[in-house]
Amino acid sequence: MNFPKVKQAKGFTLVELLIVVIILAILAAIIVPQFSASTNDAKAAALQSNLANMRSAIEFYYQEHGEYPGRNIATGATCPTGSTAVTAGAANSEEALIAQLTRYTNDAGLACT
């Protein structure tokens, strides 16, 4: 008596697929922290570059105006026609620096609106 040959199924078993998934997970666990470290290094480099640019801008301001930003705030007499002075606390205050960095600054380095 001849029995018909049963075709063997071709493909991967569940165990083989599970082993491949585990290997991929191990590789991902090794590689992902490396990318994270690279991202942090890039952020630190960008921060250093931005700080250098700010230092350069502040020094340029000093060369143009003879004093560092935030030292003085505007008075009504120093602002161009049609604008008003920005009032802030005492000289060298945080408010004066923010006013100079975010508003129009006249030739004397005083902030106006």
What does the domain layout of the chain look like in residue ranges? 17-66, 67-113
Average pLDDT over residues 25-46: 88
Which amino acid appears at position 55 of this protein?
Answer: R
Quote the percentage of the chain above a pLDDT of 70: 63
Q: Is the pLDDT of residue 65 over 90?
A: no
Q: Is the pLDDT of residue 58 over 90?
A: no
The predicted model gives 47-66 an average pLDDT of 88
pLDDT of residue 51: 92
Is the pLDDT at 106 greater than 80, yes or no? Answer: no
